[in-house]
Structure 1
């Protein structure tokens, strides 16, 4: 875990949290998988204290569940939970762009839009290549940097955590999906174009279509689960 500057307990804690989050998003730590503080400390060759703090941080972000006697496990997110998170994202995002439109898009800075457009292009390139790991990284960066227009760190942090949890749910279903390239949303650039034009309705329409697509996918997954259940 390379770091710039002296490694303090806080930076080590953050590095471990980031590394474990990446493991979960990559699907190497799977939903329901259990582990202890000692196992993670041994894996990274560090002391138990920053590991415990990192795991508590991830549990607070609802990525892990903790058990006093058994340690930690990767949270298992149901289809219903995923649907609820998407609906929450939709409502909050719609409100955010309404507010931006009412404010006259005064926050739509050119430097932010240029950076966000680069993320959009990289996300589209990863989607065409079917590279899920790279796509997730750029998708998260895209939305986080676009959130700079909102100028409300609390909203941005909450939406980021919702997106992380949505990806934790999605990754196991997408790994090995033969239709992966079609599953990955590639309209990031349309959002940037609409924001650049200060076209609030177009922004909201593109994002609403994105969320509707996610909800339709969730419904397909739910139908599959119902079909797999044994008849009583």
Structure 2
């Protein structure tokens, strides 16, 4: 079939990029870690081309830096960066509650809202239990689906990018705590109900409290 090889390569590129992104978020590829295309290609048992393409994708997402003649390095973020991330994601989420976005939410199907609610429940349970590895996946899916209700892929993509970067910075710090039970934000369900009710004021209040919680928790871990 014409183009089938290109499709296979693109799929492999996406699979490698997703796998490496998960490794970076979970801090199994920690900030500052250097590696080469050859190293990753050997690790996954694939050719260099899809690996190189996947790494460039992650660079474009702000997760990796290219080091001339050395390969790639996992980007290192600071607490100042994290503060800016929190501000950025707050501004992005505000776009979800604009009047035009509310109209889009009114048109969301019951199935789409039900899916977001399920993600909220799963993320909330993981957060309350302090299960960081499970929370990360559900949390990212929750925010992608919530933003996706608006029907604007740019909002969804920008928010996902900033949230991934936030996790990359915070995960190593959170892993230092002896227990995360009851320490992580778990208001996903409350936020969904505010959005479903088109209560922008309540939703923005929940987000503001969430951001304050995030900054206070991480600030205490960086001191």
Deviates more, 1:195-204 or 1:210-219: 210-219
Give the corresponding residue for 2:57.
Answer: 57
* Contact 1:100–1:107 under 8 Å retained in 2: no
Aligned mates of 2:128, 2:219 — CA distance in 1: 25
Aligned to 2:3: none
Contact 1:79 1:221 in 2 (8 A): no
1:38-53 correspondence runs (5 A): 38-53=38-53
Question: How many angstroms apart in 2 are the aligned matches of 1:101 and 1:70?
Answer: 45
Gaps of 5+ in 2: 1-5
Deviating more after overlay: 77-86 vs 92-101: 92-101
RMSD: 1.8
TM-score (ref. length: structure 2):
0.91
**Map of 1:227 onto structure 2:** none
Q: Which residue of the partner structure matches residue 165 of structure 1? A: 165
| 1:167-189 Cα deviation digits (max 9, x unpaired) | 00011001141241233211100
List gaps (5 residues or longer) in structure 1. Answer: 1-5, 225-232
- Equivalent in the alignment of 1:131: 131
Distance 2:100 2:146 in 1: 12
1:61 Cα deviation from its structure 2 partner? 0.4
Q: Which residue of 2 aligns with 1:71?
A: 71
Q: Give matches, 1:1-232, under 5 Å.
A: 8-100=8-100, 103=103, 105-222=105-222, 224=223
Deviation at 1:10, TM superposition (A): 0.5
Give the SS at the match of 1:183. Answer: coil
Contact kept in structure 2, 1:63 and 1:74, CA below 8 Å: yes
Deviation (angstroms), 1:198 = 2.0
CA–CA distance in 1 between the matches of 2:108 and 2:205? 18
Report the number of matched residues: 218
1:112-142 superposed Cα distances (whole Å, 9 cap, x missing partner)? 1100111111112222332211100000000
The verdict on how the C-alpha distance between 1:105 and 1:119 changes in structure 2, with shifts beyond 3 A counting, is: closer
